[in-house]
């Protein structure tokens, strides 16, 4: 009965998100249901705080996070968070669930402040420049990203930044849904460990990977949603803005203004929580 109740609660969570997005009806893919129901028998051991070096046991990939798990994570000590994240990184490097593993020298898990930072930034995937640098959000996009953060008084060291896909995507193409689904459990576990005050989604494909939804079903750029109680703001990825550097300065300026407005909204929300 407990496992059935857990399944019902998770389906209700999925439906409530759809309602927030203005959907009155929806087709729920079979795979989504399987991802929700498969780990239900394990829920009790995870929610009660099975530990690895004091941290909760890793969540099976694809398992939705419960509010209990998130609340427990907020009580982790810094050394416990670091230990849990290192263990998660080892799991990423041993993952062969999709073909992206063939393109990696090592995974690019993310970096930054693990201790309940104000902001956790989530992109879709690392590109070839990131692969060469060995870290996420690098190059010209990384420089623009740093300016975006500075506009609301933050640096990379203040926040945590990661991608949905933990392996670089070859040819700078967009990640496939099955590739993002293979990594989504890792992302959810990072959110559980880091427990940010706000999640900043950069790019529609990052939103697709986090919410299991096509971009057309997501709230538009500059809008708020929630992921297990955590406020989520979606805005444009720096790489998308840079596409128009040589072709359409007016459009690029408009995109930058839209991002600035979204970030100002993030700043206001964080200030209101102080």
pLDDT of residue 250: 86
**Taking 60 as the threshold, does the pLDDT of residue 3 lie above it?**
no
Chain center to CA of 94: 20
Distance CA 263, CA 207 (A): 16
Q: What is the pLDDT of residues 193-227, one digit of tens each?
A: 999 999 999 998 899 899 876 655 566 788 899 99
* Residue with the two structure tokens 């008084």: 153
Opening angle at CA 136, ends 238 and 141, nearest 5: 25
Q: What is the pLDDT of residues 176-191, one digit of tens each?
A: 999 999 999 999 999 9
Q: Which domains does the chain have, with CATH numbers?
A: 51-273 (3.40.470.10)
C-alpha distances (whole Å) from 17 to each of 6, 24, 38 are 17, 11, 20
Nearest CA among 156, 169, 170 for reference residue 200: 156
pTM: 0.73
Residue 56 has φ and ψ, to the nearest 5°, of -65, 150
Place 120 in a pLDDT band, splitting at 50, 70 and 90. Answer: very high
Per-residue pLDDT, averaged over 255-265, amounts to 93
């Amino acid at each position: 009965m407990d496992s059935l109740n857990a399944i019902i609660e998770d389906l209700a969570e999925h439906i409530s998100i759809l309602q927030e997005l203005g959907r009155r009806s929806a087709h729920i893919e079979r795979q989504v249901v399987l991802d929700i129901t498969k780990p239900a028998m394990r829920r009790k051991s995870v929610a009660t705080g099975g530990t690895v070096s004091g941290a909760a046991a890793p969540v099976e990939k694809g398992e939705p996070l419960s509010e209990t798990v998130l609340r427990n994570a907020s009580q982790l000590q810094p050394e416990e968070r670091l230990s849990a994240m290192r263990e998660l990184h080892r799991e990423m490097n041993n993952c062969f669930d999709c073909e992206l593993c063939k393109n990696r020298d090592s995974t690019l898990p993310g970096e930054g402040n693990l201790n309940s930072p104000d902001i956790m930034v989530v992109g879709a995937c690392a590109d070839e420049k990131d692969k060469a640098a060995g870290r996420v959000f690098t190059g010209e996009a990384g420089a623009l990203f740093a300016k975006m953060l500075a506009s609301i008084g933050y640096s990379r060291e203040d926040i945590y930044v990661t991608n949905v896909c933990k392996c670089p995507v070859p040819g700078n193409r967009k990640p496939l849904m099955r590739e993002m689904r293979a990594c989504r459990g890792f992302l959810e576990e990072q959110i559980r460990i880091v427990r940010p005050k706000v999640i900043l989604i950069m790019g529609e494909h990052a939103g697709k990977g986090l919410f299991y939804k096509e971009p057309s079903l997501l709230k538009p750029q500059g809008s708020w949603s929630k992921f297990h109680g955590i406020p989520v703001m979606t805005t444009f990825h720096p790489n998308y803005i840079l596409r128009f550097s040589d072709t359409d300065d007016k459009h690029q300026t408009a995109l930058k203004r839209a991002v600035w407005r979204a970030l100002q909204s993030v700043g206001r929300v964080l200030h209101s929580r102080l």
